[in-house]
Structure 1
Amino acid sequence: MKYVLLSADSETSVYLVPDEVANNLRKYCMYFCNTWLKESPNAKKYHVDGGICYTEEDFIEYLNTWTSQKEQSTFVESIGWINSKKDIPKKYNACPIFNF
C-alpha cells in the first residue's frame, strides 16, 4: 500500500491505495473518468442532470468496490489546498498526485 494525493478541484486528500494503483495512478484515474463513469451501468448514480458528478471519494469507492476488494483503499488525511509543489507536506512530496 502506498500514499497518493487526490483532489477534485478542492482540497487535496491523502489516501492509502494498493501499490498497483499508486504506481499507475494516472491510468486508473483516467479509466475511471473517461470509461467507467460513462459506460458502466454501475456508474448511473453519478449521472446528474445530463452530466457526471463525482469526487475523489467516488474514485476510492470505485477502487474498493470494482477493482481491488483484497486491499481496500483508505482516507488518511486532508492536506488542504495545493497550489504548487511547495504546498505539499514534505512527507508526501514524492507521492503520485491526481486532480479530477
Structure 2
Amino acid sequence: MKKVLLSHDDKVLMYSVPDEVADHLDEYCLDFASNWIWKNPEGAKLLKNIDGLMVAVYGAPDFIDYLNEWLFPEQRSMLIEQLDFYDYELPEEYDVYPQFNF
C-alpha cells in the first residue's frame, strides 16, 4: 500500500491505496470519472439530473468506495488524514506522493 493525495474543491486528503493504483493514479481516477460512473449501473448513483442535464457528482470518497467495492476488495484503501492545505498550496514535501484533483 502506498500513500496518495486526492482533492476535490476542498483540502487535500491523504489515502493509503494499493500500489497498482498509486503507480497509475491518473489512469485509475480518469477511468472512474469518465467510464465507470457513466457506463456501470452501480455508478448511476453518482449521476444527477440538473435542469435536464445529467452530470456526475463525486469526490475522493466515492473513488475510494469504487476501489474498495469493485477493484481491490482484498486491499482496502483508507483515509489517513485530511491535510491543512488545498492542492494548489501543498508544501514541497508532499511532491513525493502521487496526486489527483477531481
Check whether TM > 0.5.
yes
**Alpha-carbon offset, residue 93 of structure 1:** 2.7
**Structure 1 outlier segments of 4+, above 6 Å:** none
Which residue of the partner structure matches residue 81 of structure 1? Answer: 86
In the TM superposition, what are the counterparts of 1:3-14 in structure 2 within 5 Å? 3-14=3-14
Bigger drift between 2-11 and 16-25 goes to 2-11
How high is the TM-score relative to the length of structure 2?
Answer: 0.89
Q: Percent identity?
A: 37
Aligned length: 97
CA-to-aligned-CA distance 1:22-78 (integer Å, 9 cap, x gap) = 000001001001100110001111011121100110000000000001100000001
In the TM superposition, what are the counterparts of 1:11-90 in structure 2 within 5 Å? 11-49=11-49, 50-79=54-83, 80-84=85-89, 87-88=90-91, 90=93
Structure 1 unaligned blocks of 5 or more: none
- Please state whether the residue corresponding to 2:73 is helix, strand or coil: coil
Give the conservation status (yes or no) of the 8 Å contact 1:82–1:88: no
**Alpha-carbon offset, residue 11 of structure 1:** 1.1
> How big is the alpha-carbon RMSD for the aligned residues of Structure 1 and Structure 2?
1.2
Which residue of the partner structure matches residue 101 of structure 2? Answer: 99
